[in-house]
Amino acid sequence: MALRLVTVFGGSGFIGRQIVQRLASEGVRVRVAVRDPIKAAFLKPLGDLGQIAPMKVNVNDEAAVARAVEGADAVVNLIGILYESGRRTFQAMHVDAPERIARLSAAAGVTRFVQMSALGADETSAAKYARTKAQGEAAVRRHIPSASVLRPSVVFGQHDAFFNMFGAMTRLSPVLPYYVKDGFRMTRDAEGNRAIDLGGSGGPRFQPVYVGDVAEAAMACMTREDLQGQTFELGGPRAYTMREIMELVVEQAERHTRVVPVPFWVAKVQASVLQFMPKPLITPDQVKLLETDNIVSGALPGFEALGIEPTAAEAVLPTYMTRFRPHHRNVILRAPQ
């Protein structure tokens, strides 16, 4: 299907800017529905003059949402939060907003709809984040059965809030922690001697996925007939334990930071305090998410069905993690005398 106009909700975010740029490169006009169009003005140079139009939209305002989707060939919803703050609750952002956008999109005749969800979305999950993500998927499908749902694992790229956060921590802290359930226990070595296993299996597993690949997946869902109405699990080519993630960060940052195990009960205590920060480092709900591996199940189609070969984290991290290295941009190379 040839796209002429696409509305992207949350298009000024990390994933959004990639999708907006990808659409613009195909000559599509993009209407970017955001809370603050002035802050989203940086998107305009990603396309030709007038091709990308940020638009002020309050997702709680039905009239504003209806104007945003009017005349669109496709709609992409990227709205999501990692923690609750005031009126921005998981219910409001993950369930009510998608339902409203999908309902008004259907009324406007839109049949191409991409809902950005998350790997691990499950209405029976102990974590409210994962439960509401699944409820949001169901709400969208009630109004637009042909909607495509993307469930990515942790998304990485130049502006991510994952590897960049841990990279920044290497500047300030001598250690990087990883949380384990099966560590700090007595075991026996190969010779039968008693020993203490601190790290266990290395903590929860992740399957980081490159943001450019997620944007390509969204494009495929908007343009290919055979992908309509399906849910896709998006994971990178390799799964890492939390310990391996931290070791990768230290390697890329070229720091002497130590990677150390921490029991899960410590994470719960930390979260009970840190949840009250303006921008929490970790919350009790996120601890519940960490108790389950964030990797593809294999029960749903993934990148292979989309015709996309996922990009390895090791191929991309050196392009932006160098900023955390000691003396970055201040190293003077001299030719040997």
One of 3.40.50.720, 2.30.130.10, 3.40.50.970, 3.40.220.10 is the CATH number of 5-158+208-237+294-310, namely 3.40.50.720
DSSP, res 43: G
- For the entire predicted model, the pTM comes to 0.93
CA distances for 226 relative to 73, 125, 213, 257, angstroms? 17, 30, 19, 48
How many other CB atoms are there within 10 angstroms of residue 162's CB atom?
A: 16
149 neighbors 232 (Cβ within 8 angstroms): yes
Query: Phi first, then psi: what are they for 162, rounded to 5°?
Result: -110, -75
pLDDT at 328: 60
Confidence at residue 67, expressed as pLDDT on a 0 to 100 scale: 98
What is the Cα–Cα distance from 105 to 108, expressed in whole angstroms? 5
Q: List Cα–Cα distances, 281 to 53, 166, 263, 267, in angstroms.
A: 33, 11, 17, 11
Q: What is the pLDDT of residue 210?
A: 98
Q: Which two tokens stand for residue 80?
A: 């999501």
H-state helical runs in the chain: 14-25, 62-69, 90, 97-107, 128-143, 163-172, 211-223, 242-253, 264-274, 284-290, 303-306, 313-316
Residue type, 181: K
The ranges assigned to domains in the chain are 5-158+208-237+294-310, 163-204+240-291
Q: Which two tokens stand for residue 99?
A: 């339902």
Distance CA 33, CA 89 (A): 19
Task: Provide φ and ψ at 260, rounded to 5°.
Answer: -130, 145
Q: How far apart are CA 85 and CA 306, in angstroms?
A: 35
The CA distance from 134 to 123, in Å, is 6
CA distances from 18 to 8, 215, 217 (A): 11, 6, 11
pLDDT tens, per residue, the chain with 337 residues: 689 999 999 999 999 999 999 999 999 999 999 999 999 999 999 999 999 999 999 999 999 999 999 999 999 999 999 999 999 999 999 999 999 999 999 999 999 999 999 999 999 999 999 999 999 999 999 999 999 999 999 999 999 999 999 999 999 999 999 999 998 887 776 777 777 878 889 999 999 999 999 999 999 999 999 999 999 999 999 999 999 999 999 999 999 999 999 999 999 999 999 999 999 989 999 999 999 999 999 999 999 999 999 999 999 999 999 999 987 654 444 444 4
Give SS3 for 215: helix
Report pLDDT for 329: 56
